[in-house]
A and B are shown apart, each in its own frame.
Chain A
Amino acid sequence: MARGGHGDEDEEFDEVEEEYDEELEDEEEDEGKVGRKRSRSQFIDDAAVEDDEEDEEYEEEDEEFGDDDRRGRRQKRRSGSEFLDLEAAVDSDEEEEEEEGEDDFINDAGADIPDEDEGRRVHHPSILMPEDQEDVDEMERQVYERYAKSSHIEYAEDATDVEQQALLPSVKDPKLWMVKCAIGRERETAICLMQKFIDRSDLQIRSAVALDHLKNYIYVEAEKEAHVKEACKGLRNIYSSAKVMLVPIKEMTDVLSVESKTVDLSRDTWVRMKLGIYKGDLAKVVDVDNVRQKVIVKLIPRIDLQALANKLEGREVPKKKTFVPPPRFFNIDEAREMHIRVERRRDKDTGEYFEMVDGLMFKDGFLYKTVSIRSISSQNIQPTFDELEKFRKPGDDADGDVASLSTLFANRKKGHFMKGDAVIVVRGDLKNLMGWVEKVEDDTVHIRPKMSGLPKTLAFNEKELCKYFKPGDHVKVVSGVQEGATGMVVKVEGHVLIIISDTTKEDIRVFADHVVESSEITTGVTRIGDYELHDLVLLDNMSFGVIIRVESEAFQVLKGVPDRPEVVLVKLREIKSKIERRINAKDRSNNIVSVKDVVRVVEGPCKGKQGPVEHIHKGILFIYDRHHLEHAGFICAKAQSCIIVGGSHGNHDRKGPDPFDSRFGGLRSSQFLQSPRRLPPRGPPIDFGGRGRGGRGHDSLVNKCIKIKSGPMKGYRGRVKEVTGPLVRVELDSQMKIVTVKREDIADTNTIATPFRESRYGMGSETPMHPSRTPLHPMQTPMRDPGATPLHDNMRTPMHDRAWAPMSPARDGWEDGNPGTWGISPQYQPATPPARSYEAPTPGSGWANTPGGYSESATPRESSYGSAPSPYLPSTPGQPMTPSSASYLPGTPGGQPMTPGNVGLDIMSPTIGGEEGNWFMPDILVNILRPGEDSNVGVIREVLMDGSCKVALESAGNKEIVTAPPSELEVVRPRKSDKIKIMNGSLRGVTGKLIGIDGSDGIVKLDDTYEVKILDMVILAKLAT
């Protein structure tokens, strides 16, 4: 190991001293750091003192140690660690590296690990088994030998890869163990171990390494775990209980390899500070001293002038800094006002003048600070425009180039330039020469210059070129925050482009280096997680909105507040769910507005805007106006303040002469107005009631007002929507909610509910239950195929008006239970007098009879209704008085819950409704039968309230999700040994395996209990895999 002369030594010493000073200086600002650093320096001194005891022996050694003239206290001080750190220092014959002393050795160690390994392998055995530790000569010889040898190895440096491979640790080599130690004491611990190794001959460890970047752990090299434990015993920084972990052979090299950081710091590079109060701050390199490993950086100072003044005046400065002063330019006048002495001095190196305050250098308000290269990070610095803007002092745009080129280059990706790119030379003699890339070879780019009279191609270093764009170019951003966006360049400011985004029509500022020319048009990211641009989403506090922009990690959501556009930025997790229900609302003239209808806003701030409705939720429309530039073209308005374009306006007028209750205006209008061009007005709304009643259930319980008498929902009152086996789905009166309760938990409230029931009859208000199902139909057939049959048209009405529109008459009446409002019902339902008369004498069973009554009375509809109700006839009148009509269910499985949704279909295919069970449940496989399409297999993901299902296409359920009404769904019948789910009966929801089929029964082995059950095949559905 070559060493410099004594003089050098001193100088080096000074440097170190200086470094410490500097560190101390840093510490003034950063109390937190002090502890650690000081302890380190103290520790080194301590070590030196400790070493003194052994000095005698080492002194000797030192003196005789080779031919170099190392001497002095410092040498001695280091000797201990030097010795133990042999491996580290061994092969590094570079003086500079050495000089860094203990700061460096570990890195050095890592850098040369393969060689070192070799050295270790060759020599360790001898050195690790010293016969006699006292035998200094012997040891010294060994050490010397080791030096010589290893340096020899190093010279044979041009080792091939294969040779390098051979140096890698193998099973025969000592292992590396990871030992937990006190945090912040890693180095100390490692040195303690070294010392221990020197002191004691019986230690069998080979080396101890503390890594700078690894807190809480040190590495110990040894053959056996026991050796490590032995060595660690008694060290105060290592807990005796600490586990010793083996580092796998493969990872051993990684532990000690250091990424060769070719820190290519040059002037004007943007860096970030790693430590102190400036941590994270952007800084610009002003000067680099590679020899001293120091840089001068320019920062925006964070100085508390008051504190500084206090300090200078010798007043007590509170030790603890409670806050970090905000970055602010230094103002001399301000400082002078506070009686801070500002000196003006000329820097002897650069010849520039600086303002000196308390040892800090300022210029133009910036702080010039000398820091160690280690304390700044220069990799992947992507200064934001804000930061750069701050750095650019007003009136300082002489260079006009906000973004320093060197930084841009540092972040360039490989293959940055492509043939055909327009480039401009930014450095050298040919600066500002424009041209086109012809060829790229590694770092060299051949360009075809635009100027004539120059050679055909010129070769440039990649760093001398920058991409060049003209206003009007259509570009795509390929990196940076705006990645993915496209737009047209409107302005070029140096190496910054201003782009008008294609989609948002907003300005984007990007670096020229981050874009490529492209004709593609995209918005950038349009999706995070399940949410996509323009989705309607439900937010945390029950508010909702449309996603109008997707940013890198958040969405901009235009909230559903009609009065003023309210945009919020939400994170992914703040979104509860996507709202996908297709619902309708009523416009000002009570026309039904559904998605995609074109509406015009007639009042409110967005008055006059017009566009198709994209989403509807709670009576709020989200309208997309192409000409509206804000909020991605979305406008949020109350449905009531909009008018459907092309819709009828006469609806209000209609209401006047209309003999029916105004609440039925909607009902009627829906019938007429929804499709005024499509269909002639239909007959009186008698159909709804009739159909409603006819289609309604077979269980006398359905649609009854009940009270829940036990269970968690005890005391609630509601209306039965559906009966499935032992469970009853009840729509609560008090909450807009459907709950499922056990059948035995409910009590019929016949007596209380008489007024309701009466009214129900009058107008067929049983329908609230149907509507919840019917919406499916309108969604497909009537809307897309308006001309199909009158039937469809009928079908959609109940849905619009009753269940979904918030103002729906059915619900209104039903929720407030005001019998008065129902008074007109007879008029409304003139065709069903028989039903009424029925009900009067038999209040309790009235409705069970209705189907009968209906089919008799509803002659006008009979033709269209076909035979649908007839299957029920035999059963219903037969058991008029049985409220708990469990016996029904087996007889008409599926018929009951299904019919309402199915009425329309019944006519076409009466078989489906009656015979198929479709208590659809999530996770079961279904066939989607759509008219005009092939049947698709899908997996039910969710069953909506109205009975329709969200179905994910493909049997794996990984394709798009569609919403389908039950009428379009057919349960995939399981085959033998398929996994199944039971859709009905007491075991509803239970999964199992179909182990056999016996006629119409399936033999099922339940997953949970392993019981074998025989169940009707009808209620079994194949489970999605």
Chain B
Amino acid sequence: MFFHITLERNMQLHPRHFGPHLREKLIAKLMKDVEGTCSGRHGFVVAITNVEDIGKGLIREGTGFVTFPVKYQCVAFRPFKGEILEAVVTMVNKMGFFAEAGPVQIFVSNHLIPDDMEFQSGDMPNYTTSDGSVKIQKDSEVRLKIIGTRVDATEIFCIGTIKDDFLGVINDPGAAS
């Protein structure tokens, strides 16, 4: 799920950036530092939309760095248990398949793939229904439901299922070609 939230961060800026473009530099650094990171609480920070407020800088003794408290708004993406996501399959193996929804990696175990889908090994490992009508392979797009998340310091890992109504392949570029 995406959130538009306001976060705060203390930015340290090197004295060489002090000057007329200090603000721009600070924002550039903020974007560089923050976008793409992941915290367990807020999930992945996708993009900074607005910098609300830059507080007064405090010069650090000894280093000359200046610390600015920065308040910014950003779009954060955090997967939740039970959430339905659309994701792209990145890897298929006999234990299941991995899919990615933006920065989040989701693993769908073969226990969570409908029973009528069988693993087919080979050049392009895939899961195929017995009649061959549905095929999950690399680059397939699937809709899945997250049943569990594991939040590490820098990563969120999810386990998903497609063993439910309206879940499964939604578009398969590989099959079309």
Using a CB–CB cutoff of 8 Å, the interface residues on chain A facing chain B are: 471-474, 488-491, 498, 500, 502, 505-507, 521, 627, 629
Contacts and interface: CB of A to CB of B under 8 A. Distances in A.
Contacts of B96: 500
6 contacts: A471-B148, A471-B159, A472-B147, A488-B159, A491-B112, A500-B109
A502 B111 CA distance: 16
B9 interface: no
B151 to A, nearest CB: 8
A505 B95 contact: yes
The 6 closest A-B pairs by CB, nearest first: A472-B148, A472-B147, A491-B111, A490-B109, A488-B148, A490-B111
A472 B81 contact: yes
A505 B150 contact: no
A471 B158 CA distance: 12
Contact of A491 (B93, B109, B150): B109
A422 to B, nearest CB: 15
Given A471-B112, A472-B81, A500-B159, A506 B150 contact: no
B91 A629 contact: yes
B81 to A, nearest CB: 6
Contacts of A629: 91, 93, 95
Contact of B150 (A498, A502, A627): A502
Query: Which of B81, B146, B149, B159 has the most chain A CB within a 10 Å cutoff?
Result: B159
A471 B107 contact: no
Interface string B60-82: 00000000000000000000010
Contacts of A491: 109, 111-112
Mostly helix, strand, loop or mixed at chain B's interface? strand
Interface residues of B, number: 17
B145 to A, nearest CB: 10
A535 B150 CA distance: 27
Contacts of A505: 95, 107
Interface in B74-118: 81, 91, 93, 95-96, 107, 109, 111-112
A521 B150 contact: yes
A22 to B, nearest CB: 46
Nearest to A473: B148
A565 to B, nearest CB: 14
A519 to B, nearest CB: 8
Given A490-B161, A506-B95, A507-B111, 10 more contacts: A471-B147, A472-B148, A489-B148, A490-B109, A490-B159, A491-B111, A500-B159, A505-B95, A521-B150, A629-B95
B24 interface: no
A500 B148 CA distance: 11
B152 interface: yes
Contacts of B111: 490-491, 498, 507
B148 A507 contact: no
B148 to A, nearest CB: 3
Query: Which of A491, A500, A521, A627 has the most chain B CB within a 10 Å cutoff?
Result: A500
Contacts of B159: 471-472, 488, 490, 500
B8 to A, nearest CB: 26
A474 B159 CA distance: 10
Query: Which of B107, B111, B146, B149 has the most chain A CB within a 10 Å cutoff?
Result: B111
A715 B111 CA distance: 67
B176 to A, nearest CB: 24
A491 B113 CA distance: 11
Contacts of B149: 472
A469 to B, nearest CB: 11
Nearest to B112: A490
Contacts of B107: 500, 505
Contacts of A472: 81, 146-149, 159
Contacts of B147: 471-472, 490
A488 B150 contact: yes
Contacts of A506: 95
A498 B107 CA distance: 14
A507 B96 CA distance: 10
A493 B106 CA distance: 22
A491 B161 CA distance: 10
B91 A474 contact: no
A507 B81 CA distance: 20
A471 B159 CA distance: 9
Nearest to B93: A629
A419 B89 CA distance: 40
A507 B112 CA distance: 12
A902 to B, nearest CB: 35
Interface string B153-164: 000000101000
A474 B96 CA distance: 18
A627 B148 contact: no
Nearest to B111: A491
B140 to A, nearest CB: 17
A627 B161 contact: no
B109 A507 contact: yes
Nearest to A628: B91
B91 A627 contact: yes
A998 B161 CA distance: 80
B114 to A, nearest CB: 13
B137 to A, nearest CB: 16
A354 B152 CA distance: 58
A579 B146 CA distance: 43
B14 to A, nearest CB: 19
Contacts of A490: 109, 111-112, 147-148, 159, 161
A759 to B, nearest CB: 52
Contacts of A500: 95-96, 107, 109, 159
A505 B106 CA distance: 12
Query: Which of A471, A474, A489, A491 has the most chain B CB within a 10 Å cutoff?
Result: A471
A498 B161 CA distance: 14
A629 B152 CA distance: 19
A498 B112 CA distance: 11
B124 to A, nearest CB: 15
A489 B109 CA distance: 10
Nearest to A502: B150
Nearest to B81: A472
A502 B149 CA distance: 11
Contact of A521 (B91, B95, B109, B152): B152
Query: Which of A490, A498, A506, A627 has the most chain B CB within a 10 Å cutoff?
Result: A490
A200 B74 CA distance: 102
B13 to A, nearest CB: 24
A363 B111 CA distance: 33
A488 B147 CA distance: 9
Contacts of A627: 91
A829 B145 CA distance: 69
A564 to B, nearest CB: 16
A521 B107 CA distance: 17
A489 B81 CA distance: 13
Query: Which of B109, B149, B159 has the most chain A CB within a 10 Å cutoff?
Result: B109
A491 B95 CA distance: 13
B119 to A, nearest CB: 13
A175 B95 CA distance: 66
A65 B96 CA distance: 80
A482 to B, nearest CB: 16
Contacts of A473: 148
B100 to A, nearest CB: 11
A521 B149 CA distance: 12
Contacts of A488: 148, 150, 159
B93 A474 contact: no
B155 to A, nearest CB: 10
A992 to B, nearest CB: 51
A720 B30 CA distance: 60
A414 B150 CA distance: 29
B72 to A, nearest CB: 29
Contacts of B152: 521
A473 B81 CA distance: 10
Given A489-B148, A502-B150, A505-B107, A471 B93 contact: no
A506 B161 CA distance: 16
Nearest to B108: A490
A145 to B, nearest CB: 73
